[in-house]
Amino acid sequence: MSHKRSIVRQVHLWMGLTLGGLFALLGVTGSALVFYPEIDALLHPEVRTEASAAPDWDRALATVRNAYPDKAGPWRFEVTGTGGAIPARYYNPPETAGSDFAPMLVWLSPDGAQVLRRDYWGDTAMTFLYDLHYRLLMRKTGTVVLGVAGLALMGLLVTGLIVWWPKGPLAKALRYKRRAPPLRRGRDQHKLAGLSGLILLLLLTGTGVMLELPDESDALMSTVAGPPDTLPAPTSTRWEGRQIDVSTAVGAAHTALPDARLAWIEVPGPGDGTFRLRMQQPGDPSRRFPHSFVWVDQYSGRVLAVYDRDKAGALSTLNSWVHPLHDGSFAGLASRILTVIAGLLPLVLFWTGFAQWRRKRLSRQSPRM
C-alpha cells in the first residue's frame, strides 16, 4: 500500500470514528422522516378519517377562527388530496413566542367542520425527530453545524471509496468471503455496504448540505447557473374590508395556473396581506412543497402575481429538485422505500467499521505465545 493511501486510510478511520455516530443518527432519523405524515397519522388515530366529498375550505377557515379567536391569521391549509383530515398550521402563535420555530398544528375533519387534534411543533414524536434531523435541537446554530458536518461526511464517503479502490480485478475486489476469518468478513461487509449505497448516500448528504446552507449553496451554484429567481411580494389593495371567500381565491389560482395541482392555501389576516396559493405544475418533482405560487388580493379577488416554476431560471429549477431528492419523494413510493434503505446504511457502516477497528485493536493488544 502506498504512503498516500495509508494516509487516506487513517483519515477515513478517524473521520468514521468521530463522525460515524452522527452519520448513523442522521440516517436513521431521515429514514423515519421519509414517511413522516403517514407515521404521524398512525401515532394519532383521531385524525385517521375519510370522506368522499371535497374539502370545504370556507368552512375550515370559519372553524379555526371560531375555535381560536385570538389567531386571526395567517392560516395555512394543506391540500393533501387523500380525502382525509385537513392539516392546518398557524405560524408564530403567542403561546410559543420566543421559540425559533413552533407553529400551532391543527387537524380538521374532512369537511372542515370540526377540530380533531391540536399540537405544537416540537411537542410530537415526528416533529421532534424532524428538529433532531434538521437542526440537532440546536435551532439555527444546528443548521450551520450540520451543514459543515455534511461536507465532512461527504469527505468520509469519498475517502472510503479511495481506500477501497482496487489495484487488481474488480470482481475480486467485490467478492464477499463468507467463510473468511472475522477480520476479513467484517471488512467485506463494510465495503459492500458502502459501495452499494455510495451514490445515494452522496446524493442524500449533498442535498442535505444544500438544505442546511441554502445561501451558501446558491452563491456557489449561481456562478454556473445564474442567480436565483426573486419571488414577488405583492400586497392587497387596501388595509381593511371584507375578505373574499377561500373558495374564490382558490378559483382564481386555478384560472391563473389551470394545469397545476393545489398543494397549500395561505389565508392572510387583517391588513394588506394576500392569499398565497402554492401549486404543483406538471414538471415539478415536489408534490408536498411545490414551487409555483399565485397571489390573490384578499379584498378584490384579483390575481396580483404568478410565479410559474416551469418558467423559472436554471438555479431555481435545480433548487426545486433538492428537497424531493433528499426525502426520496421525486419518484413516488419506490424512491421513498429506496431512500429509507439508504438512510439505514450509515448505521451499518458505523457498526461494521467500529467492530473492525475494535477487532484490530484487540488483536494488537493480545499477548503473543
- pLDDT above 70 for 368: no
Is residue 103 within 8 Å of 92, Cβ to Cβ? yes
Grade residue 162 by pLDDT with cuts at 50, 70 and 90: very high
- Mean pLDDT value across residues 120-141: 96
- pLDDT above 80 for 1: no
pTM of the entire predicted model: 0.92
* Closest to 318 measured CA to CA, from 284, 288, 289, 293: 284
d(CA 264, CA 322): 19
pLDDT tens sequence across 208-261: 999 999 999 999 999 999 999 999 999 999 878 899 999 999 999 999 999 999
- Mean pLDDT value across residues 161-188: 83
d(CA 35, CA 341): 12
- Mean pLDDT value across residues 183-197: 90
- pLDDT above 80 for 364: no
pLDDT tens sequence across 14-44: 999 999 999 999 999 999 999 999 999 999 9
* Consecutive H or E run containing 76: strand 75-78
Grade residue 4 by pLDDT with cuts at 50, 70 and 90: confident
- pLDDT above 70 for 366: no
**Triad 314, 285, 313: Cα angle to 5°:** 15
Residues of the chain with pLDDT > 70, as a percent, come to 99
pLDDT tens sequence across 298-329: 999 999 999 999 999 999 999 999 999 999 99
Grade residue 183 by pLDDT with cuts at 50, 70 and 90: confident
Residues of the chain with pLDDT > 90, as a percent, come to 83
d(CA 15, CA 196): 20
* pLDDT at position 173: 77
Chain-centroid distance of CA 350 in Å reads: 23
pLDDT tens sequence across 52-65: 778 999 999 999 99
Grade residue 51 by pLDDT with cuts at 50, 70 and 90: confident
The 3-state DSSP class for residue 172 equals: helix
Greater pLDDT, 107 or 241 = 107
* pLDDT at position 369: 44
CB-count exposure of residue 351 (10 Å: 0-12, 13-18, 19+): middle
Is residue 100 within 8 Å of 108, Cβ to Cβ? no
* pLDDT at position 279: 98
Q: Sign of dihedral through CA atoms 133, 135, 136, 137? A: negative
- pLDDT above 80 for 291: yes
Proportion of the chain in helix, strand, coil states, percent, rounded to 5:
55, 10, 35
- Mean pLDDT value across residues 93-120: 94
* pLDDT at position 201: 98
Q: At what angle do helices 3-34 and 139-164 cross, to 10 degrees?
A: 130
* pLDDT at position 98: 85
Mean of the per-residue pLDDT values of the chain: 93
* pLDDT at position 367: 59
Edge-to-edge, what's the strand order for the sheet holding 86-90?
A: 115-120, 104-108, 86-90, 75-78, 261-267, 274-280, 292-297, 303-307
